[in-house]
Amino acid sequence: MYDVFVSHANADKLKYVNSLVKEIKKQGMTVFYDAESISWGDNIDEKIEEGINNCTLAVVVISKKYFGRNWTEKELTELFNRQNKSGEKIILPLLFKKFSEVLFFEKILKI
């Protein structure tokens, strides 16, 4: 069981995600973080599914690099499926750096 599942683009690890995970752990929470939770030789699909199904909260680090990637889209789809099926609100989106698409939607939605 994990307190937090972290979904992120691999390209954001060094700039943000590694320190985010470190701070979450400082709070005494258990974290499913691919760099630490998946070992050499593990079935990646199974490990990620296990992390998603056994977390209390999912932090989704949204960046320009997050979208258009197979793994991140798969994780997000699975997280939404779980949330929709259970009715639990488990997804916490974190915006890492504003990018043009977000600015566009902010204007439309007047956020």
Question: What amino acid positions are annotated as catalytic residues?
Answer: 75
For strands 91-95 and 55-62, give the pairing. parallel
The two three-digit tokens of residue 91, written as one number: 């997804």
For the beta sheet containing 31-32, the strands, ordered from the edge strand earlier in sequence to the opposite edge, are: 31-32, 2-7, 55-62, 91-95
